[in-house]
Amino acid sequence: LKVGEAEMLVEAVGDDESSDLKFILLIRTTSWADTFYRVRNRIESTTDATVTKSLHYSKNQLEGGRKREIEVTFDWDKNEAQYSNYGEKLPPVAIDELSHDPFSVLFAYRLKEFVLGEHIKIPVTDGKKTVVSDIRVMEREKVKVKAGRFDCVRVRPDIKDLGGVFSKSKDSSMDLWFSDDNHKLIVKMSSSVSVGSFKVELRDYVLGDSG
């Protein structure tokens, strides 16, 4: 049963090639699913033009009765990130060089070479703590979704130490399928989360002018 929809957007913050990039994820449940568990989430992440580090992260979250307005600011002069919820700030945390937030790290992975059996490590912070995220390149698979058939590479991030895009249960896991081409589209996601499990499949996409 279809319980919700997600839309992912990439926008340039400016008019030239050196402009920062903004990644946007919109998540909402369908009207019938709202009756049981209403979700309205908007996640935004801004990075530099080459997606080497995060510059800003925000999450406007409504999941059931849970509401949060999270913001993580980055001070690269001090190598610090600071978390706030409804304007209530926590003390800054130290961050590693070229750290990403929980959303932008998905796009940072796309710039890496996928070698079967190997691990990709990228520092990531949610403003509360900093960890080195670990993604294992699992295998190549053919995937059929609404948007078409894709040759994909399946990867498995280690998400036990850090929340972010999705709430999760203690023993949750996540698999992602990236298209095995230069675009590395996120074709499919599958994970267990705090309210059960979910599967996301690509229904449609539009490539930018650069292809």
Are the beta carbons of 35 and 48 closer than 8 angstroms? no
β strands within the chain, DSSP E: 4-13, 20-29, 39-47, 54-63, 66-75, 80-85, 88-89, 93-94, 119-125, 130-145, 148-157, 174-179, 186-193, 196-201
- Which helix or strand (DSSP H or E) is residue 32 part of? helix 31-34
Name 197's Cβ contacts closer than 8 Å, sequence gap at least 6.
190, 191
Model pLDDT, residue 194 = 54
Per-residue pLDDT of the chain (211 residues; tens, 9 = 90+): 678 888 888 898 887 778 899 999 999 999 999 999 999 999 999 999 999 999 999 999 999 889 999 999 999 999 999 999 999 999 999 999 999 999 999 899 988 999 999 999 999 999 999 999 899 999 999 999 999 999 999 999 876 655 555 445 555 678 999 999 989 999 998 876 555 567 888 988 887 655 4
